[in-house]
Chain A
C-alpha cells in the first residue's frame, strides 16, 4: 500500500513539474512582453515594470507548487529588469545602486506568497481528507448498525426454528397430532419471516458502492404500487390496503424493485405493528417536482422512544425489544438507504389516530 501511493506520487509530481514549468514560463513571457510595451510607450515610468514583475511573481507563487519556481523566477525577473529595462539597456550591470535590495524585496515577496499558497493548498487537502474520513465513518456506522440489526433480528426466528424442530424430533412419539402441527407451523412462520429478511438484504445489494449508486429508469408509479400490493396480498391475505393513485400517468426515474421493497416494508410494518385490522391507506400524490407516497395506519402509533431512532437500524427501545419478535429495525433502515440513494426523503410520524410514513421521490433525474 505505501509502495503504491509512492508510485502515484511520483507520477503525479512528474506531471506537475511540466505543468509548473509551463505556468512559470508562460507568466514570465507575458510579463516581459507587457513590460516591453510599457517600456516603449511610457518610457519614463520604470516603476510600472517593477510592479508588473512583482505581480508576475505573486501569480507564479500562487499557481505553482513548492518554492523552487518562485525563487528561480524572482532571479530571472531581477536579471530581466537589469538587462532589458535599466540603463545601460541590454547589458548586465550589477553596480547599480540599490540592486541587491531590489533582488531581496522580490525574493521576499515570492517566498511569502509561496508559503501562503502552499499553506492554503495543504489546508484544503486536509479539509478534503477529513470530509472523506467523515463520510467513510458515516457509511461504516450505517453498515455496523445494519449488521447489528441483522444479527439481532435473525437470532430470534432461528432460535425458534431450532427449538421447535428439535422439540419435534425428540418427542415424536409423545406429541399429539395437534401439537406436531403447531410446532411445524411455527417453524413455517419463522422461516417465512427469515426469507422476507433475506429478500430485503438482497435488494440492498442492488445499491452499488460507497456513493449509493443505483440504476434508475422511468417507471410507472401505479405499476410499482400494484405489484407491491399484489406481493403483500400473498403474504397477508387478510389485510386490507386501500390505495389511491393520481389519475394522470406518472413515470418517474427509479429502481422499481427497490421502491417496491420500500412500499412492502412500510405496509408490512403497518400491518404487523399497528395492532389493528383497520384498513391501511396508501396515497400517492404528485406536484411539479416530487411524487410522494404516504402509508397511513389507524393503529396505536409510534412510541416517542421509537420516533427518535426510526431509521438508524436499531429500534429505539433496543433493550426492551431484544426478545420480542420482529423488530422493525432493518426494514426501515433499508428504506432509508434506498430513498437516500434516490435523492428522495423519508420520514415517519404520528397522526391523530395512528402512524404514518411518507417518502417522496424527485420527478426528474438530477
Chain B
C-alpha cells in the first residue's frame, strides 16, 4: 500500500476547500474534507489523518473547542486556517495545542511549506532529537553548548543559549511568548514578557548583522517568535 499522507481539511467554504484540495492533491497528499466541526471530529477519530487543517470559523462549533477536543487524544499536527486577524486568537489557538496557523488569504506554496514543517516536527519528536542546528552559517551545537556564526564563536549567556536552543529545536514553528516564558523561566514567571524581549534583542545583536532585518529569528508581532528552518531538515 502506497502510503500517502492524509490531510483532513475542516472548512465550510466551498471555494477554499476546492483550491486547497486541488493543490494538495497535486502535491501527493490525500485530502478528506469536512464542512462542519462535528463531521471533522468524527473523521479525525476514524481516519487518523497525518495533518489536520482547521478553519476556526465553522458554522456549528468554535474551532478552539475542536482543537481542545482533538488534543485530548491525538498529538497529530493541527494547522489553523483562519480569517481572524486578532493576535489573541492566534495565541489562543497555539496555546491550546495547534502547531501552526496560517491567515487567510495564503498562497498554496506557503500552505505546503507549513504542512511539511509540522509533519517534520512530529517525526522529530519520535526520532532521537538532533544534536546540531545548522542554517545559513549559524550552527548551534547542543551538546558542546556552542554557537558559531560563519565559523566564529558567539558568546551567549545561559538564558540566551536556552532561548536560542528552544527556538532552533522548534525551527519553522511559531512559539508563543507564554510558551517560551514557561520553558525558560518556569511556570511561575509573571505574564510580563519584557524580559523575554530584552533577551531576544540581545541575541539579535549577537547573531544578526542588522537587527532590523534579521535572517535567523523572526518576530510575529503580538504572538511570539519563529526561527529559520534547519538546513538538515530540508
Contact = CB atoms under 8 A, between A and B. Distances in A.
Interface of A: 195, 199, 202, 218-220, 222-227, 229-230, 241, 243-245, 247, 249, 251, 256-257, 260, 282, 284
Contacts, number: 55
Contacts of A202: 85
Interface stretch (B11-19, B151-159, B197-205): B197-205
Contact of A227 (B197, B198, B218): B218
B128 interface: no
Contacts of A225: 212
Given A219-B221, A284-B212, 10 more contacts: A218-B194, A223-B219, A224-B221, A226-B211, A226-B213, A227-B218, A243-B213, A245-B212, A256-B222, A260-B221
8 contacts: A195-B105, A218-B194, A222-B204, A223-B221, A226-B218, A229-B213, A244-B212, A247-B205
Which range contains the number of B residues in contact with the other chain?
20 to 34
Given A222-B204, A226-B218, A245 B211 contact: yes
B220 interface: yes
B201 A220 contact: yes
A257 B87 contact: yes
B210 interface: yes
B59 interface: no
A195 B211 CA distance: 29
A362 B197 CA distance: 20
Contacts of B105: 195
A186 B9 CA distance: 29
Interface of B: 85, 87, 105, 194, 197-198, 200-201, 204-205, 210-214, 218-222
Contacts of A243: 210, 212-213
A226 B201 contact: no
Contacts of B210: 243-245
B219 A227 contact: yes
Contacts of A241: 213
A218 B194 CA distance: 8
A115 B106 CA distance: 69
Given A218-B194, A220-B201, A223-B197, A257 B222 contact: yes
A195 to B, nearest CB: 6
Contacts of B222: 256-257
A226 B87 contact: no
A227 B201 contact: no
A338 to B, nearest CB: 15
B212 A226 contact: yes
B198 A249 contact: yes
A251 B194 contact: yes
Nearest to A241: B213
A245 B213 CA distance: 10
A199 B204 CA distance: 29
Contacts of B198: 249
A235 to B, nearest CB: 11
B194 A226 contact: no
A220 B212 contact: no
A227 B217 CA distance: 11
B104 to A, nearest CB: 10
B207 to A, nearest CB: 13
A222 B85 contact: no
Nearest to A191: B105
A229 B218 contact: no
Contacts of B200: 220, 223
Contacts of A222: 201, 204, 211-212
Nearest to A203: B85
A229 B212 contact: yes
Contact of B220 (A227, A244, A245, A247): A227
A226 B197 contact: no
Contact of B214 (A195, A226, A260, A284): A226
Interface core residue of B87, B204, B212, B222 (most chain A CB under 10 Å): B212
A225 B213 CA distance: 8
A220 B197 CA distance: 8
Contacts of A226: 211-214, 218-219
Contacts of A227: 218-221
Interface core residue of A220, A230, A243 (most chain B CB under 10 Å): A220
